[in-house]
Amino acid sequence: SIRPIEWQKFINDFAAGKDRKEKTTRKRPRERSKDIVTKMNSYVRGMVKAAINERILFSDFTFGTKTSGVCSSGKVKVLDSRDFAKVKAIAIERASYRNIGALAVYIGSMTGMRISEVLALTWPDIDTKLCVIHVTRSWDHLYGTGFKPTKTDSSVRDIEISPSVIELLNKIHQEQAASYLRTGYRDEDQMIMRDPRHNVITDSACNKALHVIQNKAGIPEDKQITFHGLRHSHVSYLISKGVDIYYISKRLGHSDVTITMKVYGHLLDSQRKQEAHKAVLFMDQL
């Protein structure tokens, strides 16, 4: 059986990310958030209690366990609309078959897709007639095992995109096809995010491309975001333009709008004030 001291060590190592074997340039493994560590401990505690009720176990080795991890600030980091527009403009200007990282940044900013979803994109996922991206799976950029299911069932979704996105994708598809023809390479998976060496680019490469673009845009280091911040910035921009939160929730692949509200609730404050002003005005005019 597991002793409390052994479980505590496991939780400490889990929080420190010692089990991670990521194919990145990081010297140290990424620490996990305290929320995730606490959930892990709670899940196991629930199983232990069930086992005790069935008399499979006779003591709760999770009792008294102290959880640690990175504490969330409670607020997501986003680019303001001006800087977000600069990032988008520079990304579309630099995106090409030889700069797939810039393409990933552009797609992320225009769709709010997770990095694992962007890396998993294939050409059949792009509906050029309806201007829609079909999100059906993810790419394992941490362990390099290839395709994997999306984060949740609701993450399987269609995302509407503008004709300008289709135009850029068509251009890069032609560049890629010409390169494959010259080299005799055949990609059975029809991946979009392959570099000229025929490798699917890494999350580190995407973040590096974003960093270069933000530097070019003149965004100070302390205000720069990671690739996941593109998702937050995408949402922030849509909210600022009055796009319905229920649509945004579906666009992000959230299973419930309450998840969207929990993460982005503070961004809705200004919109709430505008709506409150309109409500009072309309009622006064009744």
Same domain, residue pair 107 and 240: yes
pLDDT of residue 266: 74
**53 residue type, one letter:** N
pLDDT of residue 134: 98
Same domain, residue pair 179 and 105: yes
Q: Length of the chain in residues, anyone?
A: 286
Give the strand order in the sheet containing 157-160. 126-127, 132-135, 157-160
Q: What is the mean pLDDT of residues 251-257?
A: 93
Mean per-residue pLDDT over the chain, rounded? 90
Count how many domains the chain has. 2
Same domain, residue pair 123 and 248: yes
Q: For residue 7, what are the domain limits?
A: 1-72
Same domain, residue pair 47 and 113: no
pTM of the model: 0.76
Same domain, residue pair 99 and 24: no
What number of other Cβ atoms are within 10 A of residue 105's Cβ? 29
- Integer-rounded Cα Rg, in Å, for the chain is 22
CB 54 within 8 A of CB 39: no
Same domain, residue pair 242 and 123: yes
Same domain, residue pair 121 and 13: no
Percent of the chain with pLDDT over 70: 94
pLDDT of residue 74: 55
Q: What is the mean pLDDT of residues 98-118?
A: 98
Is 276 domain-assigned? no
Stronger pLDDT, 58 or 18, i.e. the higher one:
58
Percent of the chain with pLDDT over 90: 65
Confidence check: pLDDT of 87 > 50:
yes
Same domain, residue pair 45 and 103: no
CATH number at residue 131: 1.10.443.10
Same domain, residue pair 123 and 151: yes
Question: In sequence order, what are the residues at sequence separation of 6 or more whose Cβ sits closer than 8 angstroms to the Cβ of residue 93?
Answer: none
Same domain, residue pair 120 and 208: yes
Same domain, residue pair 116 and 161: yes
CB 30 within 8 A of CB 22: yes
| pLDDT range class, residue 261, cuts 50, 70, 90 | confident
| pLDDT range class, residue 25, cuts 50, 70, 90 | very low
